[in-house]
Amino acid sequence: MDGNITGDHYDRLAAKYDENWAYSPAFVEWMTGCIQERLRITERDVVIDVGCGTGLYARGLARYAAAVVCVEPSAPMLAQVPAGEKLIPVAASAGDLAVGRVGLPHGGYDAMLLKEVLHHVGDRPAVIAGLARLLRPGGRMLVVMLPTRISYPLFAAALELFTARQPDPAEIAGDMRSAGLRAELTYESFPLAFPTERYLQMVGDRYMSLLSHFDDAQLEAGVAEIRRAHPGERIAFTDTFAFVLGTSA
Ligand SMILES: C[S@@+](CC[C@H](N)C(=O)[O-])C[C@H]1O[C@@H](n2cnc3c(N)ncnc32)[C@H](O)[C@@H]1O
């Protein structure tokens, strides 16, 4: 992880993670569909979800797969992956997997998901190359991530910091190609709407790891800035995701 800020963030957020990140069952269903459309998981496939968090998407992917290995470095997040014979928890980071520091339950994987994880990973080209070696022939690696610019109703300093820190999906596609995968980049959008107070509460809870870089006073000023910009009862915006699909020969 990129230092203690991120690790502490997810350890602290774990209990509220699904509440703040699932947004709605419709969103999770939509996202699971976008993932499955690309990974094309079938019942014999063994899947690995790297940085699975609470297993929000691993749970849905298990419906299609023989098994889903759920890899996550934050113990409180991993503890929330539901027990189930198809979901296999492994405490590790993407970097650990890439260099073979942890034993994994299968010899290779048909499909790999990295959803909103790579911005936490250092030396991404090497990690992507190491992870690509875990794919079976014809295996698929899907990176789901935000673009470098987002239209979230955050305060200006948060949006600026986001753009400064977020890797470019096109670069990830390039890293996949350097790792010997065929890579394809597509985008999909979902309309989100929240009662304004609910969204402000999520920001106040630092629902995005980005917000952990602001202290309490900065966050309070940020929430006031959002409230001034959104005086109505609801906040609506479009959430756009990049999907980078790499396929091994
Ligand atoms: C935004 S959450 C996404 C969780 C899940 N993929 C989802 O979409 O619900 C990011 C997750 O990446 C994990 N993470 C952070 N650094 C990581 C690393 N170096 N390798 C793997 N996972 C990491 C965090 O602990 C957290 O659970």
DSSP string, 89-104: EEE--HHHHHTT-S--
d(CA 61, CA 65): 6
Q: In what order do the strands lie in the sheet with 109-115?
A: 87-91, 67-72, 46-50, 109-115, 135-145, 234-247, 182-195
What counts of helices (H) and strands (E) characterise the chain?
11, 7
Number of other residues whose CB lies within 10 A of the CB of residue 249: 9
Q: Is 56 in the pocket of ligand 1 (CB under 6 A)?
A: yes
Place of tokens 């990974």: 39
Distance 45 CA to ligand 1 centre (A): 22
What pLDDT, on the 0 to 100 scale, is given for residue 216? 97
Distance 233 CA to ligand 1 centre (A): 32
| H or E segment to which residue 48 belongs | strand 46-50
Question: What percentage of the chain exceeds 90 in pLDDT?
Answer: 88
As to burial, measured by CB atoms within 10 angstroms (0-12 exposed, 13-18 middle, 19+ buried), residue 29 is exposed
Q: How far is CA 30 from CA 6, 55, 70, 162, in A?
A: 27, 16, 21, 24
**Which residues, in sequence order, are bridge partners of residue 195?**
234
Q: Is 10 in the pocket of ligand 1 (CB under 6 A)?
A: yes
Distance 232 CA to ligand 1 centre (A): 33
Q: Residues 228, 233, 237, 239: is their CA dihedral positive or negative?
A: positive
Q: Could you say which residues of the chain have pLDDT below 50?
A: 1-2
What pLDDT, on the 0 to 100 scale, is given for residue 1? 47
Of 36, 6, 19, 11, nearest to 198 (Cα)? 19
Distance 53 CA to ligand 1 centre (A): 5
Please tell me the total number of residues recorded for the chain in this structure: 249
What amino acid is encoded at 208 in this protein? M
What pLDDT, on the 0 to 100 scale, is given for residue 3? 57
**Which residues, in sequence order, are bridge partners of residue 88?**
69
Distance 72 CA to ligand 1 centre (A): 7
| Backbone φ, ψ for residue 231 (5° rounding) | -75, -10
Q: Is 94 in the pocket of ligand 1 (CB under 6 A)?
A: yes
Distance 241 CA to ligand 1 centre (A): 16
- Pick from 49, 120, 121 the residue to mutate for probing ligand 1's pocket: most ligand atoms within 8 Å of its CB: 120
pLDDT tens for each residue of 181-230: 999 999 999 999 999 999 999 999 999 999 999 999 999 999 999 999 99
pTM for the structure as a whole: 0.95
**Which residues, in sequence order, are bridge partners of residue 141?**
112, 246
Largest Cα–Cα distance in the chain? Answer: 54
Atom of ligand 1 nearest to the CA of 93: 20
Number of other residues whose CB lies within 10 A of the CB of residue 70: 30
| Backbone φ, ψ for residue 128 (5° rounding) | -65, -40
Strands 234-247, 109-115: pairing is unpaired
Question: What percentage of the chain exceeds 70 in pLDDT?
Answer: 98
Q: Which residue lies with its CA nearest to atom 4 of ligand 1?
A: 53
Q: Is-contact 222 214, C-beta < 8 A?
A: yes
- Pick from 117, 162, 165, 210 the residue to mutate for probing ligand 1's pocket: most ligand atoms within 8 Å of its CB: 117
Atom of ligand 1 nearest to the CA of 115: 6
Collapsing DSSP to helix, strand or coil, 234 comes out as strand
